[in-house]
Amino acid sequence: MNFWIRISSLDRRWVYLLMALAVIIPFFVNITIPIKISPPSQNLYTFIDTLKPDSGPILISFDYDPSTQGELTPMAIAILRHAFSKNIKVITMSLYPTGIGIAENITSTVAKEFHKVEGKDYAVMPYAPGYSAVILSIGESIKNTFATDYYGNRTDTMPIFKNVKNFEQIPISISISGSSTPYAWITYGYTKYGEKIGVGTTAVSATSYYPYLRTKQVVGMLGGLKGAAEYETLVRKFYHVKGRAMATIGMNSQSMGHILMIILIILGNISYFAIRKQNKRSA
């Protein structure tokens, strides 16, 4: 009985320590847990994979800030590597003022891996306020929405925008978000202009977007680190890409963390019922 009382009153710092060990140890142990590709990730991958270099640029919106980049940056990198491997042009932007620096940093870093030229193969847009207004404005004219790119170059002189007016020439817009901005992309991009929408979201928000997959308002979705790992796995399987597979490396730690959580939940429940039973007997 003393054991269960100890478990129920365990200092939470022991739980933190156990979780830290569960996450850190797998980095040093060479184990590979197979990653099964889920249909939402496969659908997004397949859609981008069927595009050709002349299909028009895809648009990736980095709608997140540093607080969620642990989950979202690996998926952004994986999608960029996929697009650049296929010589598909990419336009990146952010509906968040704090996301635009992340967008520029990641886009230019991945573009260097593939020797892509800024303005010709990819473009980074500056921050524009009012996210619904921005999406609606892109639906009318992307060059009017962003007169210049992030670096101050005029968009009407950039080769990437030569035959691009609005969503009609952009085969898919992908919102990578830790908040509700994918709703805005679906509402104003898909419903208003019929733009195909892809979603990359934090695991917390993933359940909110499953209904939109069923209605086909969203082409595909990457949910949390697992979604990012699935996309990384697909890209690495079919294309020769370099660089760290951040999400895939993290999945072993993720699995160990989940096992620890399950054990703790089971122990906590047994402890609760054991103590309750003991109290009833005492009464």
Partner 1 sequence: MSTNIWIWIAALLTLAIYSFLYKDNIVYKIAEYLLVGVSIGYSISITWYNVVIAKMVVPIRDQHNYLIIIPILIGFLMFFRFSRKQSWLSKIPISFVIGWGAGVAIPLGFQTTIVEHIKNTIAIPWFGGNILLLVNALIIFVGVVATLVYFYFSVPHKGTIGKIANLGIWYIMIAFGASFGYTVMARISLFIDRAQFLLHDWLGLIH
Which residues lie near partner 1 (CB under 8 A)? 13, 16, 19-20, 23-24, 27-28, 65, 68-71, 73, 97-98, 100-101, 126-129, 132, 136, 147-148, 183, 186-188, 190-192, 202-204, 206-207, 211, 214-215, 217, 223-226, 244, 246, 249-250, 253-254, 257-258, 261
Separation between Cα atoms, residue 251 and residue 37, nearest integer Å: 13
Minimum separation from the CB atom of position 15 to partner 1 (A) = 10
Instruction: Answer for the pair 199, 146: CB distance below 8 angstroms, yes or no.
Output: no
Nearer to partner 1 among residue 88 and residue 103 (C-beta): 103
In the complex, the smallest distance separating the C-beta of residue 210 from partner 1, rounded to whole angstroms, is: 9
| Beta carbon of residue 133, minimum distance to partner 1 (angstroms, whole number) | 8
What is the CB-side half-sphere exposure of residue 252 using CA atoms within 13 A? 14
Q: Which is nearer to partner 1, 5 or 265 (CB)?
A: 265
Place of tokens 């796995």: 233
Closer by beta carbon to partner 1, 70 or else 119 = 70
Helix (H, G, I), strand (E, B) or coil at 175: strand
Q: Closer CB to partner 1, residue 86 or residue 192?
A: 192
Neighbours of 125 (CB within 10 A): 23
Cα dist. 252→113, 147, 198, 230 in Å? 26, 45, 26, 13
Closer residue to partner 1 in complex, CB, 56/139: 139
- Decide: 82 and 239 in contact? Cβ < 8 Å: yes
Rounded distance, CA 146 to CA 135, Å? 11
State in angstroms the smallest separation of the CB of 208 from partner 1: 9
Closest separation in Å from C-beta 55 to partner 1: 26
What pairs with residue 55 in β-bridges? none
In whole angstroms, the minimum distance from the beta carbon of 54 to partner 1 comes to 31
Q: Whose structure tokens read 């690495």? A: 236
Name which of 34 and 129 has its Cβ closer to partner 1: 129
